[in-house]
Every structure is written in C-alpha cells, then in structure tokens.
Amino acid sequence: MKKAGTDAAPKRERVPQAERRRVTRGKLLDATIESLIDVGYPRTTTVEVGERAGLSRGAQLHHFPSRADLLVAAIEHLADERSKEFEAELRARLEKGDEPIDAMVDMLWTMFSGPLYWAVVELMVAARTDPELLGRFETFERSLGGRIYGAFKQLTGRGDRQAKIAVEMTLYFMRGLAMERIFRENDAHYANLIERWKKSLRTMLS
Amino acid sequence: MKKAGTDAAPKRERVPQAERRRVTRGKLLDATIESLIDVGYPRTTTVEVGERAGLSRGAQLHHFPSRADLLVAAIEHLADERSKEFEAELRARLEKGDEPIDAMVDMLWTMFSGPLYWAVVELMVAARTDPELLGRFETFERSLGGRIYGAFKQLTGRGDRQAKIAVEMTLYFMRGLAMERIFRENDAHYANLIERWKKSLRTMLS
DNA sequence: TCATAAACAGTCAGCTCTGATTGTTTATGA
DNA sequence: TCATAAACAATCAGAGCTGACTGTTTATGA
C-alpha cells in the first residue's frame, strides 16, 4: 500500500523539480514579506516565517540556510512584486487616459500607500545598519527608480534634467508622506496633499 | 578605613539622590539613543545599552525594569533632545537674520540630517508594529510639529491654513529626503534639492 | 550618629531564536 | 524499474536576551 498505483489508477500529478522549488521558495518569500508587514523586521524570525508559509523547518533551511539568506532573497522578491505592481498600475493609467501628471502622481501614491511599502520601509531601515542588506537594497531601489523615471518620460514626453529632479522630489515627498500613515489613517488628508503636490509639480515643470 | 573622615579630611562631594538619579537615567537614555543610531532598533538590547552607559545590570534594571520601559523613556528623552536642538537652531537663525523661508528650511534640514534623526526613524518604524511605542511617539511628534509651525508663524508672520499645509508638506519632504541618506552621502545633492524646495515653498505661499 | 531607603553590582534561570543534524519522501532520468 | 538527487520533516544543542533575585554601597533625614 505504500507505492501509489503505477499504471492506471489515481494519476498523480507530475511536477518538475524546478517548478516545485520555485513554488516553495515563493511561499517562503511571500511569508517573509507578509511577516515584515504584520509584525516588523525584528519579529520576522525564521520560525515566524516558517509557520506562515506552512512549511517545516527542514524545508525552510533547505532553501534558505540562514535568516540573512532569507532576508536578502526577500529584498529581491519584494522588488519583483513592486515591479509587477508598478507595471499593472502604469497599464491601468494608460488605459484610463488620465492627464500625465495626474496619472503619474496617483500611480505612485497607490504604490506608496499600499501594504508592500511597509515591507520596503522595514527593510530599508534595517539596511541602514546592515551592510549586506544595504548593497542589495540599493541595487533594486535604483532600478525601480529608473523604471519610474522612464514611465514619466513615456507619459509626459519630458526627459530633461528638470523633469528628472521633479520626479526625484516627488519620490521623496511620497516617501515622507507614506511614513505619516504610521500615525494617521485619514485618507482624505492624504488625497488633499496629493492634489496639492500635483500643483507644485506642474509649477516645477513649467 | 571604611568610613570617610567625617570632619575635615578629603571632603567627599555630597550629591543629592535626585541629582544622582537624574544623571544615571540620563546616561542610560543617552546610551539608548546612541545605540539606536549605531546598531539600530533590533540590536539595541538591554545589555548593549548597559555596556554603552558603563553601568551594571542592577543599576540599569533599578531604573528601567524592562526593555520596553527603557525604550518608552527613550522616546521622551529623544523628544527633549530634539526640542533643545530645535530651540538652539531657531536662535541661531534668528541671530543670523536670514530670510524667513531660507531660515526655516535650513533649520529643518539641519535637524533632519543630523544623527538624532536616525534614532527617530528607528523608533518610528518600530512603533508601527508596537502599540505602546506608537502612543508615546505620536504625542511627542505632534508636540514638536506644533512647535515647528509656531516658529514658522513667528518667522514669517503667516498663520493661515495655506501656511500650515506648506509647513506640513515641508516636513514630509524632509522626512523622505532624510531617508535617502541611508544610501547616499552626497551633501551637494541634498543642498541642491533643499534650494529647490525653498523655491517650491515660496510658490506655495505666494 | 544611625535607621532607612535608594542606588548600584553580580549572577543566573528561563525563554526564544538560530542553524546543525539526521532521517524520510518524492521526482527525475538512465 | 531503479539509482540518485532534490525536497521536505523533525529534533536538538548552543547562543543570546530578558528579567528576577540576592547582596552591597551610598545618601538622606530624623
């Protein structure tokens, strides 16, 4: 009764190793991001992540031998997720055909006010005092920054220095505004400030 | 030889209990802030702080029975320190007699780019997932925010709604810009953006 | 000057987290 | 079909952290 029927019978799914590997790692990395969002960096322990992923310790350590390995991989995974989020948002705005500045700012705020951004904040702050994380984080942050600037060019047709700086300042403003959400949940307040930012941005670009 | 000469002899300093208490607690709280800046929130353990303060475990636990007590007190202490920093900066700008907007923005950037702000960031992010810290943090953050707005009124003579929002947006921008310092140290870059912000601010207020 | 309380020191048990080890199951390709 | 390697499971020792406990020193005010 140990071996499953080898011929006709239940027809077990045959999943290639590479695919199984990908799925299990994905579960662990998703669980890591989720834990960062829910309980923060210090309490994102390997046990916490293993439980969230529903995997045994052995399975976990097979893929990520140490907590550091897990977190470093989580940075890359988070970058992927944000990238997907970004592309989806960009497509949505393009379809809606909003005015470019509005589209850009709204799109960015959607990302900065979404749950994934808490994971970014946790990792960013942890990276400040952890050289290994810092190196990784920087790489992906720059890459996404470049992609955002590219989208701005695509939307507005402007690629000059002034535009670049305006995008940069927008990102900083969003970052600071997003942090405020630690204390306040008042969506109307943020909506108001976002509208005001659009005005400032237009002035900067004119 | 145990008891010191009671009459003439070496004249031991007599320090009142309240003062000794104040000093020892100050050492512990300073050490906590220093540790937050140097190694971050997760590694700011009670042992780490005790060693930095040069105090025994007993002394430490006498004043702060738990890690949580220490961190909560550190928030208040940090608020005091920032407050002092603020008042000092404000006086300096008033003496220099700079143009009000310049003075305000420069003063704020001095604070946001100073070492104390890293401690603020560490505690703020930790507070996100820790209700006890959150309550405390919010209180002092609001209080300092009010004081900053007050100074703005004092400097510019403007206390209208538009001014209030402009100050608020300035604080958000600074917060986001300060975080960038995790990755980049290029002072000239920040100086440039600060100058641009002054322009935006003037436009907002005009 | 002396009783009392606060300040301070040192040690340690208990807990949690990490990562190593060993054993079992499942998939793949020969 | 079977040997091999990857994937997964379970347990555990070691290290670090917290907070409790006990004992000593120092200051205060009666």
The pair of structure tokens assigned to B180 is 């960038």
Cα end-to-end distance, chain A, whole Å: 77
Q: Is A182 on the interface with B (CB under 8 A)?
A: yes
Contact criterion met (CB < 8 Å) for B125 and A122:
yes
Give the B window 34-53 contacts with A, CB below 8 Å.
Answer: 38-43
Give the B window 51-80 contacts with A, CB below 8 Å.
Answer: none
Which nucleotide lies at the shortest CA–C1' distance from A25?
A: D7
Q: B66-83, pLDDT tens digit by residue?
A: 999 999 999 999 999 999
Radius of gyration of chain A (CA): 21
Q: Give the closest residue to A119 by CA, choosing from A20, A36, A15, A25.
A: A36
Between A15 and B97, the higher pLDDT residue: B97
Distance between CA atoms of B62 and B123, rounded to whole angstroms? 23
d(CA B59, nearest CA chain A) in Å:
26
Q: Is the CB of A125 under 7 A from strand C?
A: no
CB-side neighbour CA atoms (13 Å) of B112: 25
Q: Give the closest residue to B29 by CA, choosing from B83, B61, B75.
A: B75
Q: B22-58, pLDDT tens digit by residue?
A: 889 999 999 999 999 999 999 999 999 999 999 999 9
B88 CA, C30 C1': Å apart: 79
Distance between CA atoms of A47 and A43, rounded to whole angstroms? 10
Distance between CA atoms of B66 and A91, rounded to whole angstroms? 51
Q: Tell me which chain B residues have a C-beta less than 8 angstroms from the C-beta of A43.
A: 129
Kindly give the confidence (pLDDT) of every residue in chain A, 206 residues in length, as a single tens digit, with 9 standing for 90 and above: 333 333 333 334 556 666 678 889 999 999 999 999 999 999 999 999 999 999 998 999 999 999 999 999 999 999 999 999 999 999 998 899 899 999 999 999 999 999 999 999 999 999 999 999 999 999 999 999 999 999 999 999 999 999 999 999 999 999 999 999 999 999 999 999 999 999 999 999 98
- What amino acid occupies position A65? P
Res. B5: pLDDT tops 70? no
Distance between CA atoms of B187 and B181, rounded to whole angstroms? 9
Q: How many CB pairs below 8 Å do chains A and B form together?
A: 108
User: Tokens 């909560």 label which residue?
Assistant: B72
A46 CA, C18 C1': Å apart: 8
Res. B7: pLDDT tops 90? no
